[in-house]
Structure 1
């Protein structure tokens, strides 16, 4: 696959303040053949109007009630047609216009099934203000048992692998991305490549990092995801949380 096409899935709800920036960060990519699949949960603000004005005829826009973000992402997976699938949260930004070109280069070998990179947490009001820098590091499967995980917004995988490995478990409200990555990365046949560069800027204040209550709920779901995938949470959860500390320095 020398020239992969991309489907980038965005799930949104009442995102009128940020959806235009998210779409713009995708529209400015230099890589051709990009489909934006926007799944809106029946927003009550101007999200759909703003999205419709900025999406092209080749993109997908669906607005209807859903059962949460992971149900919405599964709807996006069902509608995606690209060779490679990635995810862009409605309040996130691709780091620069060459992100998809760098990801595409990593998929030049047909043996590569998935690619990930680094992420920066930025201020919700000023995306140029970096608060945390998440350096993912090289992939080693044993690290999963110590709570290691790459940031899901930087994760790209071939579309056919989603049919083999499954989509998101919609019973999770916050940690469905973590559970899915545990399931995918544990698969021995999956060859994974790391790009040691920032691919995404994530605004602070999302469902998993917006409050202490959200962080507690996220940790509780992390434990369930670990147990579901044969990971010992007594070992993995403390390491998972402690590993975030260097991101602030």
Structure 2
């Protein structure tokens, strides 16, 4: 079994009701070669007090204002000493055997990705299988909570582009893929991601999506792809709004 150092980065802002569960999920990993980094955006609700409870088990943490989630993630990258970097939000849970399962495999790639468990508002859970990395020309194969990247790769690509407020993770993955970075799928659900309904920032997300595909020249007709995915988004909304809540 490989045992590389993994830098786990959590970014937070006013997450007092959820961050302790996230911290515990990282500290309870069966895989022990982890450095834990928390980048807080200057919380005022007691989040920092919770972080301080685990000060002796966290490699590095800071709390100061930032320019959003991706700015905070970039700060985490600068502090990372691990061979791999993994990001998990302050309301998500890292599943206990995730890293142990991943690194029991032979890893030949520069990006590892797996499945994600979605937790819906009423507590229903669904494992969402990842798509092939070949879909990166037009979409993410999985959630960023199910992705590990080699530190060298993420730094070579200069981290997250702050021009994108919603989909900078997609942009980084796409740029990496188009540059020839190798991806490897491992069939394990890496984390639990809380789905809290349709984003209020959907329109901004759509704009980011189109700009990224056009700027990276990932496909020939980005507008056509944009329209198709918007139709799929609408179908997904109808499913979640009128069908899933009946289950």
> Is the TM value for this pair above 0.5?
yes
Indicate conservation of the 8 Å contact 1:147/1:240, yes or no.
Answer: no
Deviates more, 1:28-37 or 1:229-238: 229-238
Post-superposition Cα deviations, 1:125-169, rounded to whole Å, max 9, x if no partner, equal 74xx22x542113332xx333435321111101111122222001
1:200 corresponds to which residue? 191
Larger radius of gyration: 2
Q: C-alpha separation between the residues in 2 aligned to 1:47 and 1:19?
A: 7
Q: Which runs of 4+ in 1 moved over 6 A?
A: 246-249
Alignment of 1:107-146 (within 5 A): 108-109=106-107, 111-124=108-121, 126=123, 129-130=124-125, 132-140=126-134, 143-146=135-138
Distance 1:137 1:54 in 2: 36
Alignment match, 1:168: 160
Question: Partner of 1:105: helix, strand, or coil?
Answer: coil
Structure 1 vs Structure 2 CA RMSD: 2.4
Deviation at residue 121 of structure 1 after TM alignment: 1.9
Deviation at 1:76, TM superposition (A): 0.2
In the alignment, which residue of structure 2 is the partner of 1:158? 150
Matches within 5 A, 1:1-249: 2-94=2-94, 96-106=95-105, 108-109=106-107, 111-124=108-121, 126=123, 129-130=124-125, 132-140=126-134, 143-188=135-180, 190-205=181-196, 210-211=198-199, 213-231=200-218, 232-241=221-230, 242=232, 245=236
Cα distance in structure 1, aligned partners of 2:157 and 2:131: 24
Q: TM-score, normalised by structure 2?
A: 0.86
SS at match of 1:32: coil
Task: In structure 2, list runs of 5 or more residues that go unmatched.
Answer: none
Give me the whole-angstrom Cα distance separating, in 1, the residues matched to 2:162 and 2:194: 23
1:21-50 deviation digits (Å, cap 9, x = unpaired): 111111110111111110000001110110
Deviation for aligned residue 1:85: 0.5
Can you list the C-alpha shifts for 1:37-77, whole angstroms capped at 9, x where unaligned?
Answer: 10000001110110121243452111001011111000000
Give the Cα separation in 2 of the matches to 1:150 and 1:237.
18
Q: Give the stretch that moved more between structures: 22-31 or 56-65.
A: 56-65
Deviation sequence 1:101-137 (CA, Å, 0-9, x none): 122234x44x3211001112213574xx22x542113
| Residues 136 and 173 in structure 2, CA contact (< 8 A), matched pair in contact too | no
SS at match of 1:198: strand
